[in-house]
Chains A and B, each alone.
Chain A
Amino acid sequence: MSDNPPDKSGEAPAGGFGLSTGRLLRLMMPILVGVIALLAWEAFVRIEEVPVYILPGPLRIAQKLVQEWGSLSDSLLVTLRITALALISAVVIGGGLAILFTQSKWIEASFFPYAVILQVTPIVAIAPLILIYVRNTEVALLICAWIVAFFPILSNTTLGLNSVDDNFLDLMRLYRARRFQVLWYLRLPGAMPYFFGGLKIAGGLSLIGAVVAEFTAGTAAGGSGLAYRILESSYRLDIPKVYAALFLLSASGILIFMLFSGLAHLFLHKWHESASRRER
Chain B
Amino acid sequence: MMAKAPPSPLVRLTKIDKQFASGTLALGGLSLELGENEFVSLLGPSGCGKSTALRLIAGLSTPSRGSIEWRADGADRLSPDGLRGMELGFVFQEPTLMPWRTVFGNVYLPLRLKGMRKAAARPIVMAALDRVGLTGFENAYPRQLSGGMKMRVSIARASVTQPRLMLMDEPFAALDEITRFKLNNDLLDLWAAQRLSLVFVTHSVFESVYLSSRIVVMAARPGRVVADIPIDAPYPRDEAFRTSETYNQYCRIVSAALKQAMGEAVPEADPVRERASVG
Chain A 163-198 residues near chain B, CB threshold 8 A? 165, 167-168, 170-177, 181, 185-186, 189-190, 192
Taking a contact as CB atoms under 8 Å apart, the answer to whether A271 and B179 are in contact is no
Q: For the complex, what is the distance from the CA of A190 to the CA of B99, rounded to whole Å?
A: 9
Indicate whether A10 sits within 8 Å of B148 (C-beta atoms), given known contacts A1-B132, A170-B92, A171-B96: no
Taking a contact as CB atoms under 8 Å apart, the answer to whether B99 and A272 are in contact is yes
Q: CB-CB < 8 A to A46: which residues of B? A: none
Q: Is B259 positioned at the interface, with any CB of A under 8 Å from its CB?
A: no
Q: Is B276 positioned at the interface, with any CB of A under 8 Å from its CB?
A: no
Q: Is A7 positioned at the interface, with any CB of B under 8 Å from its CB?
A: yes
Q: For the complex, what is the distance from the CA of A4 to the CA of B153, rounded to whole Å?
A: 14
Taking a contact as CB atoms under 8 Å apart, the answer to whether A6 and B140 are in contact is yes
Q: CB-CB < 8 A to B101: which residues of A? A: 189
The one of A174, A192, A272 that contacts B58, using a Cβ cutoff of 8 Å: A174
The one of A170, A177, A271 that contacts B99, using a Cβ cutoff of 8 Å: A271
Q: Is A3 positioned at the interface, with any CB of B under 8 Å from its CB?
A: yes
Measured CB to CB, the closest approach of chain B to A15, in angstroms, equals 15
CB-nearest residue of chain B to A6: B145
Q: Is B124 positioned at the interface, with any CB of A under 8 Å from its CB?
A: no
* Interface size, chain B (Cβ < 8 Å): 39
Indicate whether A1 sits within 8 Å of B114 (C-beta atoms), given known contacts A167-B94, A271-B143: no
**Which one, B1-9, B11-19, B105-113, B248-256, is touching chain A?**
B105-113
Q: Is B90 positioned at the interface, with any CB of A under 8 Å from its CB?
A: yes
The one of A1, A6, A189 that contacts B182, using a Cβ cutoff of 8 Å: A1
Q: A-facing mask of B154-186, CB < 8 A → 1, else 0?
A: 000000010000000000000000110011001
Q: CB-CB < 8 A to A273: which residues of B? A: 143
Q: Is A11 positioned at the interface, with any CB of B under 8 Å from its CB?
A: yes
CB-nearest residue of chain A to B152: A1
Q: Is A236 positioned at the interface, with any CB of B under 8 Å from its CB?
A: no
Chain B 82-137 residues near chain A, CB threshold 8 A? 88, 90, 92, 94, 96, 98-101, 109-110, 112-114, 132-133, 137
Q: B-facing mask of A56-72, CB < 8 A → 1, else 0?
A: 00000000000000000
Q: CB-CB < 8 A to B178: which residues of A? A: 3
Indicate whether A2 sits within 8 Å of B133 (C-beta atoms), given known contacts A11-B144, A167-B92, A170-B60: yes
Q: Is B146 positioned at the interface, with any CB of A under 8 Å from its CB?
A: yes
Taking a contact as CB atoms under 8 Å apart, the answer to whether A7 and B144 are in contact is yes
Measured CB to CB, the closest approach of chain B to A23, in angstroms, equals 23
Q: For the complex, what is the distance from the CA of A276 to the CA of B140, rounded to whole Å?
A: 15
Q: For the complex, what is the distance from the CA of A181 to the CA of B111, rounded to whole Å?
A: 12
Taking a contact as CB atoms under 8 Å apart, the answer to whether B60 and A173 are in contact is yes
CB-nearest residue of chain B to A176: B113
Indicate whether A4 sits within 8 Å of B137 (C-beta atoms), given known contacts A11-B144, A175-B113, A272-B99: no
Indicate whether A175 sits within 8 Å of B114 (C-beta atoms), given known contacts A4-B179, A167-B96, A168-B98: yes
Taking a contact as CB atoms under 8 Å apart, the answer to whether A165 and B144 are in contact is no
Taking a contact as CB atoms under 8 Å apart, the answer to whether B144 and A1 are in contact is no
Q: For the complex, what is the distance from the CA of A83 to the CA of B96, rounded to whole Å?
A: 40
Indicate whether A10 sits within 8 Å of B140 (C-beta atoms), given known contacts A167-B92, A189-B98, A271-B100: yes
Q: B-facing mask of A74-105, CB < 8 A → 1, else 0?
A: 00000000000000000000000000000000
Taking a contact as CB atoms under 8 Å apart, the answer to whether A175 and B110 are in contact is yes
Q: CB-CB < 8 A to B146: which residues of A? A: 3-4, 6
Indicate whether A3 sits within 8 Å of B114 (C-beta atoms), given known contacts A171-B90, A174-B90: no
Q: CB-CB < 8 A to B132: which residues of A? A: 1
Taking a contact as CB atoms under 8 Å apart, the answer to whether A6 and B137 are in contact is yes
Taking a contact as CB atoms under 8 Å apart, the answer to whether B96 and A174 are in contact is no
Q: A-facing mask of B55-66, CB < 8 A → 1, else 0?
A: 100111000000
Q: For the complex, what is the distance from the CA of A85 to the CA of B59, rounded to whole Å?
A: 48
Q: Is B141 positioned at the interface, with any CB of A under 8 Å from its CB?
A: yes
Indicate whether A4 sits within 8 Å of B144 (C-beta atoms), given known contacts A170-B60, A176-B113, A189-B98: no
The one of A165, A167, A190 that contacts B100, using a Cβ cutoff of 8 Å: A190
Q: Is B149 positioned at the interface, with any CB of A under 8 Å from its CB?
A: yes
Taking a contact as CB atoms under 8 Å apart, the answer to whether B113 and A3 are in contact is no
Q: CB-CB < 8 A to A181: which residues of B? A: 113
Q: CB-CB < 8 A to B88: which residues of A? A: 174
- What are 25 pairs between A and B in contact, CB < 8 Å? A3-B179, A3-B182, A4-B147, A4-B148, A4-B149, A6-B140, A6-B144, A6-B145, A6-B149, A7-B144, A10-B140, A11-B140, A11-B144, A165-B96, A171-B96, A175-B110, A175-B114, A175-B161, A176-B113, A177-B113, A185-B109, A186-B98, A270-B141, A271-B99, A272-B100
Beyond A168-B96, A174-B88, A186-B98, 13 additional contacts (C-beta under 8 Å) are: A1-B186, A3-B149, A3-B182, A4-B147, A167-B92, A167-B94, A173-B60, A174-B59, A175-B114, A185-B98, A189-B101, A271-B143, A272-B99
